[in-house]
Structure 1
Amino acid sequence: MSLQQKAYRGAGWSGLSGMISNGLELLKYIALARILEPGDFGLLAMAMVIISIGRIFADGGTSNAVIHFRNQSSRQLSTLFWINILAGSALYLIVLLTAPFFATFYGEPEVRQLLQLGGIILPIYAAGALFEVLIRKNLDFKKITIAETTAAVAGFATATGLALAGWGVYSLIWSHIVTAGILTAIYMAVEMRKWKPSFCFSPGEVWEHIRFGLYQMGERGLNIYSMRIDHLIIGRFFGPEILGAYHIAYQVVLFPISRLSPLLNRVALPVFAARQEDHSVLRNGYIKLVSGIVSLMMPFFIIVSLSAPWLVPFLFGDGWLLTAQLMPLMALVGVLRMMGNPSGNILLSKGKAKLAFYWNLAAAVVTTAVYLIGAQYSVFVLLTLYIAANLLYLGIGQWLLVNRIIGLTFSRLFSEMKLFVPLLIVPFLLTFIIKNVISNVWDVTGWMRGDVPVSAVLTRLYDAWQYGLFRADGSMMYDLAMILAIAAVFLITYIPLFWRYQSGSVREFWQAVRKDGHGS
């Protein structure tokens, strides 16, 4: 089986895993949003941002080192396993000790109990981290898909069952604990058939892994900090109610890309690492990865942004107006993150964890300053400033982290990406116009008679799109009809253009998967 076939096969399984996991996660939030209050989701977000940052350090940063250095002895793997256990346990202790501080920081006493309970996730994930990376290193993503699907189903059942039983925010935290436990148990059960850790601890034999891991751990920690500092600052300055609404918007719009990126990295990083000396292969692979992500994910962001005023009440019920208002801005954040994420695979495949660390350190400092400035005004100003910062990150990061490393030029990148201008702009504009016509926001006849100034029309269009002012009534059927109409108009226009520009890649993917399925 060729490396390309393995990559396509892995991408297929990772995509399936992402769809199932994301779908169940969305269903969980849909179900619980009608049972719990926005403040409950805000309390969860306050606790989980700390746990999410801690989880980055739970494997000692050595997971990607196992992939980069390719071959390890049983003694080395055993040492790395115990490093993970020690790191996860130490992090749990730190969470236990600092929980009162974060409760004071947020001004919410319940955050203390949530952190002390949810912190157990860290040693649980640490125990399974090495087994997961060994499966990923072999591009055996079918096993990962089965594990993640099983864990997601269990987490969904736990959350809904406990919420109906009146457990409130604790139904959410227990959902995360159950998901982590089942995921780790499956990884260990599957991979221990091939290798079991021994009682061996020889740090000197894995010093290169540790050194790589320290930078990688710092880089990943700064990266997740930059992505979650918004939750810290919004929770601190605006309270759990606004943070809860923001968190739901984040889960609907940004959660898919936050899940898609690791799934794609699982496939791309081992493939790039295997060809790390061939810059021509890396350039072609990077361009294919970026174009594939943009063409597959951009429709999601556009449809969600345009349909937000109807999508949010249809999914979550009334009381989530702020969520609908935030989603268009959140979609822009998602687009910029989506386009910048593939650069990390180039850096790690080339072993440049140190450069990745310093880049994310600079980004963390800038992001923190941006959010603190925005928090003095409103959550809308905060997000707008963050969008501007991400535009800066995208341009500088492309040059510094990709172009200089593998010899890619902006002219070649733009020549490849210019195909996406008609692919995305035409369907977006058509859908935007039709959406406002069928929702009676755009008074066409009044405009043509001159009764309505053009400036008033444009202002009304912007306000309607940004703040969701054009729900004709409160019926779910009307909401559903608008969602389906917007999606249909966009996709009917988009799919022919997508096939014109991407049919070659689709055929290449399909042929590789079919050959792989026949064992050739």
Structure 2
Amino acid sequence: MKRSPSNSGKRPAADPDRVFVSAFDATQASGQAARGGAMIIAANLLGFVVTITSTAILARLLTPAAFGMIAMTATMTTLLMMFADAGLTQATIQRREITYGQLSALFWINLAVGAGLATLCFLVAPWLAWLYDEPGLTDVTRTLAANFLLLGAAVQFTAVINRQLRFKITALIALMAPIAGALAALLLAWWGAGVWALVAQLVVTEIVRLVASISLAGWFPGLPTRAKGVGSMLRFGGNQLLFNVIIYLVHNADRVLIGAYLGPYLLGLYDRSAQMIRLPVRLIIFPLNPVMLPTLSRLQDQPDEYRRVYVGAISKITMVSYPATIAMALLAPEIVYILLGPQWDEAAPIFALLAVSSLTNPISRSLTWLWISQGRVREQLHWGILITSTIVPAFAVGLAWGANGVAAAAALTLVCMHPIEIGMATRKGPVAWRAVTDALVPGAIGAAVMAAVILGLRQSGLVPANPFVAIVPLSACAAISLIATYGLLPSARRPLLEAADTLAMWIGLRRAPSPPA
């Protein structure tokens, strides 16, 4: 099979059998992943700040009805959006070798899927308007249907960028797109465009993401053609898509049951608590996917480096996520009062229980890196079926105790099933069950010490009654105890030093090491 060097600025030769080669230095894999993760997380955090700030301004320029119309369309578009990728991003990233012909074939398949979803959304729009008794929703939904076509066109360009480990480009696009969308929305809202300002925000964001990806990918698809090996990639993508659908159902089954049997009031308490709990994962873990998946996929033939990169990543993640999650659970009354107000005090126990259930979330998300990078998506699907058949009945049983019961069912099921999930993910491949559990120890010890400090302060009677005042000494003492614990713990010092070293390189205080000659 012919090979071609990876080129970031030239269009590839037309030969469909030519292998698309991505330059990769395995000796620098850990450092690349750390720096890339830091860049993409920072870009996503800045993008989140842009979104929150623009939303706050738009809320003063537009009526609640405008936001309500977008929320109405989201009931359908969010579900359909899962199918636009068709699991083919991961198929492109994971494959050891991929030809230009295969990339082109996948591009046209993604484009066809996007066009099909856009057509479906366009045709269903009048029915959605009828369902909500909102005639103006037809034109809004039909305009937003264009996003499916834009997303379908962008999938393979984004996958190529990720496959080449071009993390700066990924971070740049992650920041540029929401900024462009926000500026378009603010300008149109200022001109009195109403709901169309929000529509423009969503469409412009996808247009900028597509144009930037095409311009920076260094690849362009050829004409539609049959290519060998595409069938196996479609099966890979199909299994990944089915898993995504199953997890989507798991994440929404609790809300459906609470809304149907307990009513909107308790659903509001539960949903708002869940949204706050999941925010850190969305801002930190999700952005790591375009870093860890391609990095581990390129290391399939180097088990020692593969294991070192993965274990190092989850050790650092849990040293942050475990203490943060336990702190959210123990400080739930103060957090809910400060962020939502006194009228939401009934949400505090729900928030605390959901925080416990989210304890497993970062590692569960990271285990998908193992399954996908090793091409074991069928086994991942088996896990998805197992957890669905376990947790949905648990939700139903928990309904007898209200929203608190559902949250407790989620926490109990996810925590108890977590060792099984780790065992299934590490049954094959270079990462063993013991390597994963050993990596979790520093974070678990830090979280335990911090929890003891918070509980001790509460029992001492020294904590002020005012939540705004109480949160300060509780947080400060928790942070000090955590830092002291990590400083004294030998297994925690190395990840901390590596994280500090990465930060120093990222902000320019130290140069990254040059690859060996």
Classify the TM-score, shorter chain: 0.7 to 0.9
When residues 169 and 222 of structure 1 are mapped into structure 2, their CA distance, relative to the original with a 3 A threshold, is farther
Residue 506 of structure 1: aligned partner: 496
Residues in 2 aligned to 1:15 and 1:415: alpha-carbon distance in whole angstroms: 25
Residue 454 of structure 2: aligned partner: 431
When residues 369 and 320 of structure 1 are mapped into structure 2, their CA distance, relative to the original with a 3 A threshold, is same
* Partner-residue secondary structure (3-state), 1:419: helix
* Partner-residue secondary structure (3-state), 2:84: coil
| C-alpha contact 1:46 1:235 (8 A) present in aligned 2 | no
When residues 500 and 317 of structure 1 are mapped into structure 2, their CA distance, relative to the original with a 3 A threshold, is same
Residue 491 of structure 1: aligned partner: 479
When residues 42 and 487 of structure 1 are mapped into structure 2, their CA distance, relative to the original with a 3 A threshold, is farther
Higher mean alpha-carbon deviation, 314-323 vs 495-504, is at 314-323
Residues in 2 aligned to 1:176 and 1:153: alpha-carbon distance in whole angstroms: 11
Residue 212 of structure 1, CA deviation: 1.5
* Partner-residue secondary structure (3-state), 1:79: helix
Residue 98 of structure 2: aligned partner: 72
Question: What's the CA shift string for 1:405-461, capped at 9, x where partnerless?
Answer: 446144x544443333431111122123435734456xxxxxxxxxxxxxxxxxxxx
Residue 284 of structure 1: aligned partner: 308
1:398 aligned onto 2:422:
yes
- Out of 224, 230, 233, the residue aligned to residue 200 of structure 1 is 224
Give the TM-score normalised by structure 2. Answer: 0.78
- Out of 86, 90, 102, the residue aligned to residue 116 of structure 2 is 90
When residues 92 and 389 of structure 1 are mapped into structure 2, their CA distance, relative to the original with a 3 A threshold, is farther
What one-letter code is carried by the residue in structure 2 that aligns with 1:506? Answer: L
1:248 aligned onto 2:272:
yes
What one-letter code is carried by the residue in structure 2 that aligns with 1:418? Answer: V
Residues in 2 aligned to 1:48 and 1:10: alpha-carbon distance in whole angstroms: 31
When residues 77 and 409 of structure 1 are mapped into structure 2, their CA distance, relative to the original with a 3 A threshold, is closer
When residues 56 and 329 of structure 1 are mapped into structure 2, their CA distance, relative to the original with a 3 A threshold, is same
Question: What's the CA shift string for 1:458-510, capped at 9, x where partnerless?
Answer: xxxxxxxxxxxxxx4xxxxx62x433333222111112222444331233355
What one-letter code is carried by the residue in structure 1 that aligns with 2:41? Answer: G
Residue 345 of structure 1, CA deviation: 1.1
When residues 241 and 78 of structure 1 are mapped into structure 2, their CA distance, relative to the original with a 3 A threshold, is farther
1:230 aligned onto 2:254:
yes
Residue 155 of structure 1, CA deviation: 5.0
Give the TM-score normalised by structure 1. Answer: 0.78
Residues in 2 aligned to 1:39 and 1:373: alpha-carbon distance in whole angstroms: 37
Question: What's the CA shift string for 1:308-361, capped at 9, x where partnerless?
Answer: 434445445565445545322221222121222211111112111111122213
1:330 aligned onto 2:327:
no
Report 1:10-409 matches (<5 A).
10-25=36-51, 48=74, 50-96=76-122, 118-154=144-180, 175-191=201-217, 194-202=218-226, 206-237=230-261, 242-316=266-340, 319-375=343-399, 378-406=402-430, 408-409=432-433
What one-letter code is carried by the residue in structure 2 that aligns with 1:297? Answer: S
Residue 123 of structure 1, CA deviation: 2.8
Residue 85 of structure 1, CA deviation: 1.3
Residues in 2 aligned to 1:108 and 1:76: alpha-carbon distance in whole angstroms: 43
Residues in 2 aligned to 1:171 and 1:322: alpha-carbon distance in whole angstroms: 36
When residues 518 and 355 of structure 1 are mapped into structure 2, their CA distance, relative to the original with a 3 A threshold, is closer
Residues in 1 aligned to 2:352 and 2:182: alpha-carbon distance in whole angstroms: 27
When residues 500 and 98 of structure 1 are mapped into structure 2, their CA distance, relative to the original with a 3 A threshold, is farther
Higher mean alpha-carbon deviation, 229-238 vs 146-155, is at 229-238
Question: What's the CA shift string for 1:208-255, capped at 9, x where partnerless?
Answer: 221221112212222233223334444444565654544433332202
Higher mean alpha-carbon deviation, 128-137 vs 308-317, is at 308-317
| C-alpha contact 1:269 1:348 (8 A) present in aligned 2 | yes
Residues in 2 aligned to 1:404 and 1:73: alpha-carbon distance in whole angstroms: 27
| C-alpha contact 1:215 1:354 (8 A) present in aligned 2 | yes
| C-alpha contact 1:230 1:371 (8 A) present in aligned 2 | yes
Gapped regions of structure 1 (runs ≥ 5): 442-471, 473-477
What one-letter code is carried by the residue in structure 2 that aligns with 1:505? Answer: P
When residues 23 and 245 of structure 1 are mapped into structure 2, their CA distance, relative to the original with a 3 A threshold, is farther
Identity %: 21
When residues 7 and 45 of structure 1 are mapped into structure 2, their CA distance, relative to the original with a 3 A threshold, is same
- The root-mean-square deviation of aligned C-alpha atoms, in Å, is 3.9
When residues 246 and 287 of structure 1 are mapped into structure 2, their CA distance, relative to the original with a 3 A threshold, is same
Residues in 1 aligned to 2:261 and 2:61: alpha-carbon distance in whole angstroms: 26
Gapped regions of structure 2 (runs ≥ 5): 1-24
- Out of 400, 416, 420, the residue aligned to residue 443 of structure 2 is 420
What one-letter code is carried by the residue in structure 1 that aligns with 2:357? Answer: V
